[in-house]
Amino acid sequence: MYNLLKGKKGIIFGALDENSIAWKTAERVHEEGGTFVLTNAPIAMRMGQIKELAEKTGSEIIPADATNLDDLQTLVEKSMEILGGKIDFVLHSIGMSVNVRKGRHYTDQNYDFTTKGWDVSAVSFHKVLQTLYKNDAMSEWGSIVALSYMAAQRSFPDYNDMADNKAYLESIARSFGYFYGKEKKVRVNTISQSPTPTTAGQGVKGFDGFIAYADMMSPLGNATASECADYTLTLFSDLTKKVTMQNLYHDGGFSNTGVSNEVMEKFIK
């Protein structure tokens, strides 16, 4: 351990169970000396094991619906009270598509479902940023990270409307990141992670096949949830103080690989 986050304080959204990237990140932040508040929507808290994580890391839990501004205001106020001051890092690890859950094809969306998924997966990031900004809750050189996926840039048919949500999420990081950096010296970035077998990720049709394909395509192989947690820590640390408004690929090289020998072998007779 390197004590990379010694003395730093933060908020971690979205830890559901031990498979989730937010869960792995919380464990690593704790190991590196950081303290934090855990938060998730009440319904997600009932589904997951967040209390176990809180006990393991000595953290408090504040339930909050990230789409609700009143909940976010309470979360920020209570977090600063519990942590004893301004916040140094925030992880937004939230995503959901009702269309995917209900088996609706991208060409046959229920737009009420679309709006709900967009709000949870993308607009909630703007709401989190805006609440932090208006409360002047972030320390100078603080870091805010959201998790994305390369379907924001390329077509993955079964990723459905989540691809649109991730594209919007990344745009928010650039747009809000400009103002947050210029006015408060706060960094805002997204990490475009390899397909990862989290509880949410496995809900995507054909996920097992695609994770195998991505692993075969990536020179370094797929990045795991634990490795993503390590990468996120570097963005929370003072070692990346001038990195902002970026979408950072953490995918073993998948994003820059046209085709691999292993994939070609499947088509050569």
State the binding site for NAD(+). 14, 20-21, 94, 166
Element at 45 (helix H, strand E): helix 42-47
- The DSSP code for 225 is H
The one catalytic residue in 149, 180, 213, 249 is 149
Alpha-carbon gap, residue 69 to 89, rounded angstroms = 19
Q: CA torsion angle for 68, 69, 75, 81 (degrees, to 10)? A: -170
The reply to whether 159 belongs to the active site is yes
| Residue 122: both structure tokens together | 């993308």
Alpha-carbon gap, residue 57 to 28, rounded angstroms = 10
| Residue 52: both structure tokens together | 């176990």
Closest CA to 38 of 14, 21, 20: 14
Element at 75 (helix H, strand E): helix 69-83
Let me know if 126 is exposed, middle or buried by CB neighbors in 10 A (0-12, 13-18, 19+).
middle
Task: Give the count of beta carbons closer than 10 Å to the beta carbon of residue 62.
Answer: 18
The one catalytic residue in 2, 111, 133, 159 is 159
The reply to whether 149 belongs to the active site is yes
Residue count (the chain): 269
Catalytic positions, please?
A: 149, 159
